[in-house]
Each structure stands twice: as structure tokens, then as C-alpha cells.
Amino acid sequence: MTQTVPGAPEVSTAPAAGSDDVPEIEPRVPRSWWRLIVLAVGALVFLFPFYYMIVGSLQRTTNTALSGVIPWPGNLTLHNYGQINAALSLGKALLNSAIFTGGVLLGTLVFGVLAGYALAQLHFRGRGLVFAFMLLLLMVPFQLLIIPLYVLIVRDYGLGDSYLGMIAPFAINSTAVFIFRQFFLHLPKELFDAARIDGASELRVLTRVALPLVRPALLTAMLLTFIGPWNEFLWPLLITKQQSMQPLTVALANYISTVSGVATNPYGAIMAGAVVLAVPVVVLVIVFQRHFVSVNIGSAVKG
Amino acid sequence: MTSIASRRPKLPPLEGELRPGARQARAQRLVRAALGRHPIGMLFSAPYAFFIAVLFAYPLGLAVWISFHRYFFAAPGVSVPRPYVGLANYQAVLDDPAVRQAFLNIAIFMVINVPLTVMLSLLLATALNAVIPFRAFFRTSFFVPYVTASVATVGVWLFMFSSGGIVSNVLGPLAPHPSWLINEQWAMPSIAIYVTWKGLGIFILLYLAALQTVPKELYEAAEVDGASWWHRFRSVTVPGVRQVTTLVTLLAVITGANLFTEPYLLTGGGGPNGKSTSPVLQIYETGIEQNHPDFASALGVILVVGVLAIVGIQQLVQRRQA
């Protein structure tokens, strides 16, 4: 190993293969083979379960031997999707997930942007208090509020089995507010002062000056906000008793823990449900992958 | 406004009376002193402040209140006495062997999860931090488990790690018996490994961002000095990404305190024999299923105080080091 990858500084003429192409200014051959091996093994470990999910969802009879990794043409069927659809009424579960997620996105986009802008660019009484509570909220795990929230929303306000009750605790995503604040903070103050001197109202300054400048960041924050409620399990589990109100996460989890025992091919149906649950988010991530850039998220976290 | 005032013929200022412009300026100063330079900010942040008050601060206070009282869910409209019981609920929580097991379990979780996450994400981020083919593909593939619903990925892990699953079939006699998820020794490590796998993507991105801020000159200087690969890694890379490492540790504490879906689904309700139960699962079971919200609230308060204490100590240590 040490012979093939000499760390010694005198390797400046780059004697390895392909050295003709290397310009003289670059004294070292890019030795990326170890990187590629590490990354390929990593990608295999990360992606195999997803591949196996799809293959499992298409198998007529579950094959858990190593040969089951290959989708044998004779053993392929879409029957599992029909089975999970019959058990969960997939369409209704997807609609519930969509309404839950849509409500959170709307609340965060409207009220979260307003709050993020105010916290970053405006001086007003109580700003420090709101900011301090936001940080506290980010630190206290949501799971610890489930009992009082259950008492309030289900018992006191009778909002069990309702979309409002499902959305309420997530209505404004504090991580997104924090990200909005970070991005508005980095915009030059002079820009806003100029607009204000021209007589623009604060709302106009926000929508016409600030928002267009942070549009890419806005998309990143909305993508991150989408993932939360779409994947959320514990809260909708608490608040929905009727199956017709359950988002897909809860419906599928109930299927996993109860119904699957009596189904003919339980894992096939579970994998089919998992594929349906995973596909929207995975597609979003692939389509918008350049918005999940490290720099964006990094600057949102640094602070 | 001021232009109109200045256009008026100048009058000698009267004793004890301010000119209208000056009065207005004083009023403005008063408003600023009372409400800040941009009072409209209060309006902008009002919905969020309302959200925080109603759905965070009040529930947080309610949790503390419930934890000091005898509290259970009665039929709607029935008023029941909820007497103050002091620290009785806290006593009951601390005496409960299931709760102790749950805290022990998240300690095991952290001992496995933190080093594994730090090492693997730093390794993969270092490998990604160069011009290499398929870079976008690799980055995205590491991120996919992080963004996928736990319920979906837990489903596949159940499929793979159950008794007759592919992992046991491939490993043959090397696989533990009883199988991973129903084995008292392996249940919690299985959860820790699953969570590491699922969360690694975000830490790779964070480390990658940190690596890109480490000045290249430092590596070049170290190389000129004849430092080995390992030496460069230890004296340049590791200090350069220390902030992220701290963050990883903190987030692992919070993740451990939050564990619910994994023990609920992956190991069938914290089994076997509670060897993979978690505090939040205990909160759910005692508070909602067994109708002891007072006990569950006390457990929640202990958990919050514990997490905040760890975060606080960590911040203090970091500030002292800086």
C-alpha cells in the first residue's frame, strides 16, 4: 500500500500511468482509486436495501436466499401492489399524507418566511425572546411534547382524527425558520435600506427584494420541510384512530405490526407499500439533488 | 413632513413648547424605545410567536404541571380531581426497572452509534472531497436513506434481518441465534447500526462542507514537511472538522433521546424482554396506552433535563477550549 501510494513529497514528476496528460503545474497524479473503491462500497451498502425493496415488492413468492436478489422473470408480479392497496386503500392514505404535508408546507412558507425575515432584518421588541424560544424549540425533542399535545389537541380541543390536529404541531417548521433567518441575515443591509428610503413597505421589501435573492435557499428549505411530515410517524399514530384518516406511514406500520401475519405473502405486500411511501421523496431528492448541496445545509447549521 | 416644517417661517422657539417636528421626533424615539426600530417586525413574527406559545411553550409547561399531579384521562365532560402529589411521579419513574433499562439501552445505542457515525461519515466525506467520476451519484445515494421514511426503511430491514431473511441465509452458521432482532444481545446494536446507516448521509454532507473550508495550504505545508497521510489527517483534517464532530455527538444524543419508530416497529415494541426499549417508547406505552400521563410526563421532563444538561455541558467545554 505504502509503496503504491507514496506520501513522500519528492514524487513531483508523477511517474504513474497516464502521466503524459498531467500538466506540469499539477505535480501529483490524482490518486483517486481508493476514493472510488470506498465510495462504491458505500453506495452499495446505501442502495442495496432500496434495490431489494423493489425486487421484494415484485416477487410472487418471497425468496430470501441469495438467489432472490436477482428478479427472476418467472417469479415477477404486480399482485403485491394490489394486495397492499386492498388492505390500506392506498389512494386515501396517500391523500392524507399529501394533505398533512401540504398544510405544513403552506404554513412554513407563509409564516416561517415572515418570521425568518423579521428575526434577521428587523429590530423590534421581543425579537430576542422569539429567537431564544426558537432555539429552545430546536433543542427540545418533539417526542417529549407528545403527552401534553395529546392532552390539548385530542382531549381538550377534540381534534383527534382531523387534519387540523395532525398539522398543528408542525404548522411552522422551526428548522426552516432558522434557515430562512440565516439566509436573510447574509443579505447586505444597504439593499433593504435603499428600498425603504424609496418608500417601499416592509412587506414589499420582503417579497420584491429579499425573497428573489434567496430563491434557491427557499427551495432547499421547502424540500427539507416536505420530508418531515411526509415521513412523520409518531404524531399521526397518536392522533388517528380511524383508518380513513391515517397517512401512509401509519397505515403501513399498522399493516406491518398486525395484518401481515395473515397475508399470504406479507413481505411482498410490505415492500410494495414501502416502495409507494419512499418513491415521492426519493424522486424529489434525485430531481433536485443539486439543491441538497453541502454548502447550503452547512451554512444553515453553522450559526 | 420635515420639509413642510422647514418651509414655514422660522419662529423663535418658545420656552417649554416644542416645535411640531421635534415633538414628532420625540414621539418616534419613544416608539422606538418601546417597540424597536421596526415595530412591524412584531406583526411579521406574530403568527410564529403564537405558534410557539400555544404549541410549544404551553405544552411544555403543561407537561411539567402534569408531572407533579395525579392525572389520567377521564371521559369527556367528567371533572376529576387532580391532586398535587409532589415528586411521587418522579419517584415512580426512577424506581421503574423498565425505565432504567430504556436509559441503559440508549447509552448502548450512543456507544455504538457515535463512533461509527463519526468514522464512516468522515471517511466517505474525505473520499468525496475531490474531483472524481460519478460524484453527484455517490452524494445522492448516501443521502437517499436519510430522506426516506423510517417506516419504509424499517420494512426492508425487517425483510433482510428477520429469522429467515437474506442476511441470516447468506451468513449461515455465522448469524446469531436467535436471529438479530429477537436476540437480547443483538436487538439494540441492530437498532444502532440501522440508525447509523439511515442518518449517515446528512453527516457526510456536513463533513464535506467542513472539509471544503480547511485551507489547502495547510495540507501542502504538511506535505512539504514530510508528514505522512495519517499524520496529515490527524493534524490538519481532524482539527478542521472538529465543529462538525461536536455536532454529530450532540445530534446522536438527541436522536437517542428520540428513538421511537425503530424499537416500536423493528424490534416489535422494544423486545425481546425490553432489551431494545427506549424512553420515548416508554412514554408512549405508559402515557397513551396504559393511561398514566403523569408518569409519562415525569419521564419526559427527566429526559429533557438530561438532554439540555448534556448540550449545556458540551457548549461550556467547547467555549473553554476555544
Most confident of A292-296, B193-197, B199-203: B193-197
Taking an 8 Å cut-off on Cβ atoms, the answer to whether B155 and A270 are in contact is: yes
| Model pLDDT for residues A112-151, shown as the tens digit of each residue | 999 999 999 898 999 999 999 998 888 777 877 899 999 9
With CA atoms as reference, report the closest residue to B166 among A58, A67, A260: A67
Considering the domain architecture, whether residues A100 and A154 belong to the same structural domain is answered as yes
A1/B contact by beta carbon, under 8 A: no
DSSP bridge partners of A76? A59
Alpha carbons B287 and B299: distance in angstroms, whole number: 10
Considering the domain architecture, whether residues A46 and A147 belong to the same structural domain is answered as no
Enter the DSSP assignment of A248.
Answer: H
Name the pLDDT band for A293 (thresholds 50, 70, 90): low
Taking an 8 Å cut-off on Cβ atoms, the answer to whether A124 and B123 are in contact is: no
Considering the domain architecture, whether residues A202 and A58 belong to the same structural domain is answered as no
Q: State residue A14's pLDDT score.
A: 36
Please provide the average confidence, as pLDDT, over all residues in chain B. 87
Considering the domain architecture, whether residues A100 and A179 belong to the same structural domain is answered as yes
Q: Which of A260-274, B81-95, B208-222, B282-296 has the lowest average pLDDT?
A: A260-274
Considering the domain architecture, whether residues A150 and A98 belong to the same structural domain is answered as yes
Q: Is the pLDDT of residue B16 over 90?
A: no
Taking an 8 Å cut-off on Cβ atoms, the answer to whether B48 and A274 are in contact is: no
DSSP string, B241-256: THHHHHHHHHHHHHHH
Q: State residue B130's pLDDT score.
A: 84
B25: left (phi over 0), alpha (psi -120 to 50) or beta: alpha
Structure-block grid coordinates of residue B54:
400555544
Name the pLDDT band for B214 (thresholds 50, 70, 90): confident
**Interface residue of B156, B181, B278, B292 to substitute, partner A, most A CBs within 10 Å:** B156
In a domain, A159, yes or no: yes
Range B134-163 average pLDDT: 91
In a domain, A273, yes or no: no
B74/A contact by beta carbon, under 8 A: no
DSSP string, B271-314: -STTTT--HHHHHIIIIIISS-HHHHHHHHHHHHHHHHHHHHHH
Please provide the average confidence, as pLDDT, over all residues in chain A. 83
Range B134-152 average pLDDT: 91
**Interface residue of B147, B202, B233, B284 to substitute, partner A, most A CBs within 10 Å:** B147
In a domain, A221, yes or no: yes
Considering the domain architecture, whether residues A213 and A110 belong to the same structural domain is answered as yes
Distances, alpha carbon A205 to alpha carbons A114, A183, A190, A261, B47, in Å: 11, 15, 12, 59, 19
Assess contact for B34 and A94: CB atoms under 8 A.
no
Q: Is the pLDDT of residue B301 over 90?
A: yes
Alpha carbons B138 and A263: distance in angstroms, whole number: 37
* Architecture per CATH, B97-291: Orthogonal Bundle (1.10)
Alpha carbons A115 and A86: distance in angstroms, whole number: 44
Q: State residue A130's pLDDT score.
A: 94
**Interface residue of A39, A57, A129 to substitute, partner B, most B CBs within 10 Å:** A39
Considering the domain architecture, whether residues A96 and A169 belong to the same structural domain is answered as yes
Name the pLDDT band for A56 (thresholds 50, 70, 90): very high
In a domain, A20, yes or no: no
Q: State residue A292's pLDDT score.
A: 67
Q: Is the pLDDT of residue B322 over 70?
A: no
Q: Is the pLDDT of residue A246 over 60?
A: yes
Q: Is the pLDDT of residue B15 over 70?
A: no
Residues 6+ apart with CB under 8 A from B103: B279
Number of Cβ within 10 Å of residue A107's Cβ equals: 21
Alpha carbons A133 and A116: distance in angstroms, whole number: 13
Considering the domain architecture, whether residues A295 and A196 belong to the same structural domain is answered as yes
Q: State residue A197's pLDDT score.
A: 87
Alpha carbons B83 and A249: distance in angstroms, whole number: 38
Structure-block grid coordinates of residue A158:
377534540
The enclosing domain of A291 has a CATH number of 1.10.3720.10
Taking an 8 Å cut-off on Cβ atoms, the answer to whether B156 and A53 are in contact is: yes
HSE-CB for A254 with a 13 A CA cutoff: 19
With CA atoms as reference, report the closest residue to B45 among A124, A21, A258: A124
Assess contact for B140 and B134: CB atoms under 8 A.
no
Q: State residue B179's pLDDT score.
A: 86
Name the pLDDT band for B100 (thresholds 50, 70, 90): very high
Range A209-220 average pLDDT: 86
Dihedral angle sign, alpha carbons of residues A275, A278, A280, A283: negative
Q: Is the pLDDT of residue B2 over 60?
A: no
Considering the domain architecture, whether residues A72 and A108 belong to the same structural domain is answered as no
Domain end call among A55, A77, A99: A77
Considering the domain architecture, whether residues A67 and A171 belong to the same structural domain is answered as no
Q: Is the pLDDT of residue B221 over 90?
A: no
Q: Is the pLDDT of residue A16 over 60?
A: no
Residues 6+ apart with CB under 8 A from A140: B56, B60, B304, B307, B308
Range B130-154 average pLDDT: 90
A299: left (phi over 0), alpha (psi -120 to 50) or beta: alpha
Number of Cβ within 10 Å of residue A79's Cβ equals: 16
DSSP bridge partners of A59? A76
- At which residue does the C-alpha cell 411640531 appear? B20
Range A158-167 average pLDDT: 94
Question: Which of residues A7 and A252 earns the better pLDDT score?
Answer: A252
With CA atoms as reference, report the closest residue to B204 among A43, A47, A51: A43
Considering the domain architecture, whether residues A194 and A223 belong to the same structural domain is answered as yes
Taking an 8 Å cut-off on Cβ atoms, the answer to whether B226 and A9 are in contact is: yes
Complex prediction ipTM: 0.84
- Residue numbers in A near B295 (CB within 8 A): none
| Model pLDDT for residues A92-116, shown as the tens digit of each residue | 999 999 999 999 999 999 999 999 9
Q: Is the pLDDT of residue B213 over 50?
A: yes
Q: Which domain holds residue A189?
A: 91-247+285-301
- Residue numbers in A near B164 (CB within 8 A): 64
Question: Domain extents for chain B?
Answer: 97-291
Question: Which of residues B75 and B41 earns the better pLDDT score?
Answer: B41
In a domain, A5, yes or no: no
Q: Is the pLDDT of residue A27 over 50?
A: no
Taking an 8 Å cut-off on Cβ atoms, the answer to whether B150 and A233 are in contact is: yes
Percentage of residues in chain B having pLDDT higher than 90: 45
Q: State residue B19's pLDDT score.
A: 62
Number of domains in chain A: 2
Backbone angles phi, psi at A76, to 5 degrees: -95, 140
Range B115-127 average pLDDT: 93
With CA atoms as reference, report the closest residue to A102 among A280, A257, A301: A280
Percentage of residues in chain A having pLDDT higher than 90: 47
With CA atoms as reference, report the closest residue to B192 among B126, B111, B269, B250: B111
Q: State residue A202's pLDDT score.
A: 87
Alpha carbons B209 and B205: distance in angstroms, whole number: 6
Range B172-191 average pLDDT: 89
Considering the domain architecture, whether residues A206 and A99 belong to the same structural domain is answered as yes
Q: List the single residue in A5, A38, A152 with the smallest CB-CB distance to B59.
A: A152
In a domain, A120, yes or no: yes
Name the pLDDT band for A155 (thresholds 50, 70, 90): confident
What is the pTM for the complete model shown?
A: 0.84
Minimum distance, in Å, between the CA of residue A114 and any CA atom of chain B: 5
A277/B contact by beta carbon, under 8 A: yes
Range B38-49 average pLDDT: 92
Q: Is the pLDDT of residue B304 over 70?
A: yes
